[in-house]
């Protein structure tokens, strides 16, 4: 495949910087698109504890309507997926994905001894350990560690944010947090940093480590910025933060970067009061951004290789509270969006509202089973070493 | 290369305290580190003043309630108001303590307290509980470890954070017992699951009342025999703590952690063993242990100097000690703590802040490099922190709503800094400043520095050199 003119020009301007381009970000040797089969994972974190029961709605369940006289979404208001299950009316794009066989819904995902603190529960989800364990690394960070031990061309993970999440911190490898590559590169006094970096003589271990991190960050920011401009998006994304972030991610997926994991957050779903409006606003943002993203990835024939996954640190209580909202709960559903799912639609039973634990849903699937499945079957990684033990695989991938 | 007295003294000041002040620089070459340590110790022996930042509103709410009804009977709105106020007060406690770290003479005590604050990590939002726990820590920071452990274990903050209020005879809750052993005393791998279960039984009944006082609730205590670490008896919580302190492993575990925090991330097992023996024989005197470290010769070995990554709080406080300054919008320091990953009173979990290279990732490093320029008004602060749902309760706050430049309003007292360098000839300035600001062997070459600094006047030369030296990977280390 020939260079497009625009790409050619850009590569010209990159000639100097590519000398210090970090190994892990080097483009694939093949010119042109990333080879098919190179799977990409996009994690969308729904921060704050999304209310799963008003996301995927049990429209024939009397207990649901009894517990939520004010908040329950009526059958005829929801977008019906089956006779018994509807999806939130603000998620029309998801309904479309469902109809096209590109959506998987996994119900009742959680973990034993659930914690209802946002911080702690998010910590548990991001680190991928049991709720009585404390880890200083995240599951995707350890994936980077595992991928990179001794390999010449390590893969990389990117978070579209100013601050890196625990999920992407490994023991020796860490993802890169970049909200705006241009800004990171331009405003960070980078000329000075480049100068001192070029002048630095290795010697002391920790100083060298800091210099390595600094120069990789600078050159990555520049490289990512250039790469993200190579692919001019044909899609109009909504003018929302998530829209902007997914546009950045799409342009990187369609560039030459070998990044396998992208991470982005949307929130806050902490709907103690006035849930209906807040969830609707966030879902509208999610739905619009995702629809544009999927269209673009599809148009470029990469949808079979890209999977989006949503999660939240917990679901919410089955009963509504007195302020038009819901309080912190436990198990929740997850979405999987891809052209390459092995099983589609509603993947397991809806939550059993007859069988609650003090008003909260009981989990039937450990989220580490999901991680194991994604790591093994999607990313082709050694899930056991990454998660510290062998969890069960699910069959949707 | 021989190590200068000045470097040794700065090393001591960075580890035992929060770094040198520019005003003191000329004294640093004269005295010996041993003398300097004696001075630090003396300055920390004055009586401690406890903090009280709980606002009147909070005071009124909680105290008023004590007389009338139980806290549980408050309306949802009242409860929410109390929580909100408590969070605000915690911010004030944070800033108050931060100021103490910057300005207090009792540097040794405050620095050692910061270590214990991470060791006895506790994340509860009750301002009274947190204040009380901090008092215990600061009071005992240089005292006896056994006393501190016992007081911490009986503090409502820790009892509530580790769920011992729910630890009852009929339904033991093992959380407290587990963490006391795993994190506060012996460390993982030195006891069995059955030891945890038995210890949890001994701790049944330990709780606190609505006045924030420790109570031993006899009806919830399990009076049966327990077998713990090879001993059998009708133990209570105090007995368990005694038995834990009898274990040499407890001295070893604490000493190792202290060595890694104050001396070197790579611990030296021989040195730790010797120090732990002394610590154990002294009946857990923290002062003795620290003295064994700071007056030793090996503490000042080349390999121990300039190799430790400063925690975000050490970085921030260190800058503010070297450069006296007034920050008009003080709360910006909470934002720094948040984006750099260390908010006082909000440890990530009961294990505390992991430290070392964990402080560093690409974005955190770039932020750290930008802070000296931000604090001296050369740059805006352009970072949006992650949402914190525990404090925001689903609403957007101003600091999270927009990614916009945030100007930090500071006034640096350059006069007193400039005065220190009055007598230094211009050609020596760069080197002298570098020796004051950086602890590493790696230095920034003068040629590069001179490209970026303002050579217009002597004053600007000094100012910009200090700021550029602080904006380096080398400055992240102490």
Does position B388 have pLDDT exceeding 80, yes or no?
Answer: no
Name which of B178, B362, B451 is nearest A217 (Cβ-Cβ): B362
* DSSP class per residue in B349-387: STT----GGGG--HHHHHHHHHHHHHHTTSS-B---PPP
A211 contact B CB<8A: yes
Q: Name the 3-class secondary structure at A265.
A: strand
Question: Among positive and negative, which fits the CA dihedral B234, B239, B244, B248?
Answer: negative
Q: Over the stretch B440-454, which tens digit does the pLDDT of each residue have?
A: 999 999 999 999 999
The backbone torsions φ and ψ at residue B343, rounded to the nearest 5 degrees and listed phi first, read -100, 120
SS3 content of chain B, % helix, strand, coil (to 5): 60, 5, 35
As a whole number, the mean pLDDT across chain B is 90
Provide the pairing of β-strand A103-110 with A365-366.
parallel
Kindly state the percentage of chain A with pLDDT values over 70. Answer: 87
Q: Is the peptide bond before B405 cis (omega within 30 degrees of 0)?
A: no
Alpha carbons within 13 angstroms on the beta-carbon side of residue B57 total: 11
Distances (CA, A) of B375 to A119, B197, B467: 29, 51, 9
Burial class (CB in 10 A: 0-12, 13-18, 19+), A350: buried
pLDDT at res. B50: 86
Q: Tell me which chain B residues have a C-beta less than 8 angstroms from the C-beta of A278.
A: 394
Token pair for B26: 């000329």
Residue B454, SS3 per DSSP = coil
Residue B211 has pLDDT above 90, yes or no: no
Separation in Å, CA A153 to CA A74, A144, A147, B84: 52, 11, 9, 49
Centre a 10 Å sphere on the Cβ of residue B119 and count the other Cβ atoms it contains: 21
User: Phi-psi region for residue A179, left (φ > 0), alpha (ψ -120 to 50) or beta?
Assistant: alpha
Distance CA A143, CA A167 (A): 10
Q: Residue B142 burial by CB count (10 A; 0-12/13-18/19+): exposed, middle or buried?
A: buried
Distance CA A17, CA A385 (A): 36
Interface contact A169-B389, CB threshold 8 A? no
Using CA atoms, how far residue B122 sits from A193, A293, B95, B262, B347, in Å, is 38, 42, 18, 21, 7
Chain B residue with minimal CA distance to A313? Answer: B389
Cα gap A171→A156, rounded to integer Å: 14
For residue range A5-64, list pLDDT tens digits in order: 233 333 333 333 333 444 444 444 333 344 556 899 999 999 999 999 999 999 999 999
Q: How far apart are alpha carbons B408 and B378 in whole angstroms?
A: 10
pLDDT at A75 over 70: yes
CB contact (8 A) between residue B387 and residue A209: no
Would you say how long chain B is, in residues? 478
Q: pLDDT tens across B248-265, in order?
A: 999 999 999 999 999 999
Q: Which residues of A touch B348 (CB under 8 A)?
A: 119, 123, 166
Among B472, B476, B478, the residue to mutate for chain A (most A Cβ within 10 A): B472
In angstroms, rounded to a whole number, what is the distance separating the alpha carbons of residues B387 and B406? 17
How many Å lie between the alpha carbon of B46 and the closest alpha carbon of chain A? Answer: 37
Q: Are A217 and A177 in contact (CB under 8 A)?
A: no
Structure tokens at B246: 């009898």
A 319-358 residues inside an 8 A Cβ radius of B: 322-323, 325
| Confidence at A376, pLDDT banded by 50, 70, 90 | very high
| A91 or B85, greater pLDDT | A91
CB contacts under 8 A, A 237-276 vs B, are 265, 267-273
> What confidence category does residue B323 fall into, taking pLDDT thresholds of 50, 70 and 90?
very high
Would you tell me how many other CB atoms lie within 10 Å of the CB of residue B257?
A: 18
Predicted confidence band at A255 (pLDDT cuts at 50, 70, 90)?
confident
Rounded to an integer, the average pLDDT of A185-208 is 85
Q: Over range A347-372, report the average pLDDT.
A: 96
Q: Would you place residue A370 in the very low, low, confident or very high pLDDT band (cuts 50, 70, 90)?
A: very high
Assign A109 to helix, strand or coil.
strand
pLDDT tens, B108-123? 999 999 999 999 999 9
Q: Say how many CA atoms lie within 13 Å of B176 toward its Cβ.
A: 34
């Amino acid at each position: 495949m020939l260079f497009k003119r625009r790409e050619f020009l850009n590569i010209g301007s990159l000639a100097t910087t590519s000398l210090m381009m970090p190994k892990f970000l080097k483009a694939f040797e093949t010119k042109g698109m990333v080879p098919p089969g190179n799977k990409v994972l996009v994690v969308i974190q729904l921060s704050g504890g999304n209310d799963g029961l008003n996301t995927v709605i049990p429209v024939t369940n009397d207990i649901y309507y009894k517990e939520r006289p004010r908040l329950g979404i009526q059958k005829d208001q929801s977008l019906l997926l089956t006779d018994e299950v509807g999806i939130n009316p603000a998620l029309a794009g998801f309904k479309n994905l469902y109809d096209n066989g590109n959506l998987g819904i996994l119900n009742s995902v959680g973990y034993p001894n659930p914690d209802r603190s946002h911080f702690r529960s998010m910590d548990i989800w991001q680190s991928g350990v049991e709720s009585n364990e404390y880890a200083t690394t995240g599951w995707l960070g350890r994936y980077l560690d595992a991928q990179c031990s001794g390999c010449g061309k390590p893969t990389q993970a990117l978070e579209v944010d100013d601050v890196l999440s625990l999920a992407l911190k490994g023991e020796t490898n860490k993802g890169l947090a970049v909200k705006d590559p241009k800004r990171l590169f331009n405003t960070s006094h980078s000329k000075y940093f480049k100068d001192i970096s070029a002048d630095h003589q290795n010697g002391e271990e920790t100083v060298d480590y800091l210099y390595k991190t600094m120069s990789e960050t600078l050159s990555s920011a520049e490289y990512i910025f250039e790469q993200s401009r190579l692919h001019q998006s044909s899609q109009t994304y909504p003018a929302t933060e998530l829209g902007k972030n997914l546009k950045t991610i799409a342009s990187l997926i369609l560039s030459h970067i070998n990044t396998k994991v992208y991470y982005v957050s949307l929130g806050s779903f902490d709907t103690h009061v006035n849930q209906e409006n807040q969830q609707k606003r966030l879902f509208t943002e999610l739905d619009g951004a995702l629809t544009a993203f999927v269209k673009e990835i599809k148009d470029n024939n990469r949808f079979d290789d890209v999977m989006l996954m949503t999660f939240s640190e917990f679901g919410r209580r089955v009963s509504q509270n007195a302020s038009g909202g819901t309080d912190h709960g436990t198990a929740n559903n997850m979405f999987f969006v891809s052209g390459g799912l092995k099983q589609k639609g509603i993947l397991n039973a809806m939550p059993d509202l007859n069988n609650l634990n003090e008003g909260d849903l009981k989990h039937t699937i450990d989220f580490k089973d999901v991680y194991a499945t994604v790591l093994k079957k999607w990313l082709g990684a050694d899930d056991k070493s990454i998660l510290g033990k062998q969890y069960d695989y699910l069959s949707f991938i | 290369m021989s190590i200068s007295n000045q470097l040794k003294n700065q090393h001591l000041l960075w580890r035992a305290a929060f770094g040198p002040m520019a005003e003191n620089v000329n004294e640093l070459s004269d005295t010996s580190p041993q003398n300097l340590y004696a001075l630090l110790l003396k300055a920390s022996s004055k009586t401690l003043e406890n903090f009280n930042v709980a606002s009147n509103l909070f005071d009124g709410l909680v105290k008023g309630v004590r007389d009338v009804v139980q806290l549980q009977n408050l309306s949802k709105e009242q409860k929410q108001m109390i929580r909100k106020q408590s969070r605000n007060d915690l911010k004030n406690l944070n800033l108050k303590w931060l100021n103490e770290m910057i300005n207090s003479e009792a540097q040794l005590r405050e620095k050692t307290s910061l270590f214990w604050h991470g060791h006895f990590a506790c994340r509860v939002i009750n301002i009274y509980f947190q204040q009380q726990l901090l008092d215990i820590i600061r009071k005992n920071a240089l005292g006896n470890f056994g006393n501190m452990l016992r007081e911490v274990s009986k503090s409502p903050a820790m009892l509530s954070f580790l769920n011992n209020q729910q630890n009852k005879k009929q339904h033991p809750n093992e959380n407290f017992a587990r963490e006391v052993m795993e994190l506060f005393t012996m460390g993982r791998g030195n006891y069995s699951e059955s030891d945890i279960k038995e210890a949890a039984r001994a701790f049944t009944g330990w709780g606190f009342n609505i006045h924030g006082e420790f109570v031993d609730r006899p009806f919830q205590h399990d009076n049966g025999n327990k077998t713990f670490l090879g001993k059998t008896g009708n133990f209570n919580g105090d007995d368990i703590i005694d038995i834990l302190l009898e274990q040499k492993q407890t001295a070893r575990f604490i000493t190792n952690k202290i060595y890694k925090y104050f001396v070197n991330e790579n611990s030296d097992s021989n040195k730790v063993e010797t120090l732990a023996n002394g610590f154990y024989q002294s009946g857990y005197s923290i002062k003795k242990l620290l003295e064994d470290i700071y007056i030793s010769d090996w503490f000042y070995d080349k390999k121990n100097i300039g190799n430790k990554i400063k925690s975000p709080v050490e970085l921030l406080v260190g800058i503010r000690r070297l450069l006296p300054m007034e920050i008009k919008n003080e709360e910006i320091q909470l934002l720094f703590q948040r984006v750099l990953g260390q908010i006082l009173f909000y440890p990530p979990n009961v294990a505390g802040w992991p430290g070392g290279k964990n402080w560093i990732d690409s974005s955190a490093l770039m932020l750290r490099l930008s802070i000296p320029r931000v604090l001296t008004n050369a740059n805006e602060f352009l970072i949006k922190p992650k949402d914190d749902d525990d404090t925001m309760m689903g609403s957007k706050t101003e600091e999270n709503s927009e990614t916009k430049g945030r100007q930090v309003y500071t006034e640096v007292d350059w006069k007193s800094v400039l005065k220190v360098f009055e007598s230094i000839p211009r050609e020596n300035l760069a080197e002298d400043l570098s020796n004051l600001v950086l602890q590493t062997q790696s230095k920034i070459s003068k040629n590069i520095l001179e490209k970026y600094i303002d050579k217009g006047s002597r004053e600007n030369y000094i100012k910009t050199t200090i700021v550029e030296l602080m904006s380096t990977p080398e400055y992240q280390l102490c």
